[in-house]
Chains A and B, each alone.
Chain A
Amino acid sequence: DAGITQSPRYKITETGRQVTLMCHQTWSHSYMFWYRQDLGHGLRLIYYSAAADITDKGEVPDGYVVSRSKTENFPLTLESATRSQTSVYFCASSDGGAIETQYFGPGTRLLVL
């Protein structure tokens, strides 16, 4: 099916473990984004990518790593998970340019114990 998908949808992990959240889009959009959503903070940008092999930090990048070897995939890795990284993570994509709409995935709920 076309669109933007995220996996897993739910994840429970322990402090200190490495976790990778996957994001896949079928539109060949050039831009992809990772946000976290927390109560009282709205959405905060973690990282974004303008094209394959081009990534840049957002508002809250510490503790996260991204890569973009293919246009359609944009995985987000928590190298050593902390409780403060318990959140809902959303991936989004857009067709580039400042005026383009972002399309969001369904989200991944991550609980770090």
Chain B
Amino acid sequence: AQSVAQPEDQVNVAEGNPLTVKCTYSVSGNPYLFWYVQYPNRGLQFLLKYITGDNLVKGSYGFEAEFNKSQTSFHLKKPSALVSDSALYFCAVRYAGKSTFGDGTTLTVKP
């Protein structure tokens, strides 16, 4: 069985500071990993994904994520947070045709 954990329900950062949203996964084979963002009353929007290759993946809106196989982690990062980055972020692992999502992390960026 595959699983995803987002250990922090809430992350608060000041505008201009770097941000990290954590994600760890468990799967028996090589995973495909995704990050999605959800704004209020909207569906999820794709941010980035890791399939293979370079462990640092760059995505939309200046976000990036680092795949670490030994730590089974796929943390989302951004060098300088914006107030408009405030949203709910989901990590997902896809394996054997099925996607499993984490419970989500609410990111709040304060001016």
Binding site for B on A (CB under 8 A): 33, 35, 40-45, 48, 50, 58, 90, 92, 98-99, 101-107
B102 touches A42 (CB 8 A): yes
Find B44's partner among A45, A50, A104 (CB 8 Å cutoff). Answer: A104
Question: Could you say which interface size class chain B belongs to?
Answer: 20 to 34
Question: What's the nearest-Cβ distance from chain A to residue B5, in Å?
Answer: 10
* Bound complex: CA A42 to CA B42 (Å): 14
Question: What's the nearest-Cβ distance from chain B to residue A98, in Å?
Answer: 6
B98 touches A45 (CB 8 A): yes
A101 touches B103 (CB 8 A): no
B74 on interface, CB distance cutoff 8 Å: no
A105 touches B32 (CB 8 A): no
Also in contact, A42 and B90, with CB within 8 A (given A58-B98, A98-B32, A99-B32) = yes
Also in contact, A101 and B49, with CB within 8 A (given A58-B98, A90-B43) = yes
Question: What are the residues of chain B within 8 A of A106 when measuring CB–CB?
Answer: 41-43
B14 on interface, CB distance cutoff 8 Å: no
Which residues of B83-111 are within 8 A (CB) of A? 90, 94-104
A sample of 5 more A-B contacts (CB under 8 A), given A41-B103, A42-B103, A92-B44, is: A92-B43, A98-B97, A101-B49, A104-B43, A106-B41
* Bound complex: CA A47 to CA B64 (Å): 30
* Bound complex: CA A104 to CA B49 (Å): 16
Find A42's partner among B51, B94, B96, B104 (CB 8 Å cutoff). Answer: B104
* Bound complex: CA A107 to CA B41 (Å): 8
Which residues of B34-54 are within 8 A (CB) of A? 34, 36, 41-46, 49, 51
Question: What are the residues of chain B within 8 A of A58 when measuring CB–CB?
Answer: 98
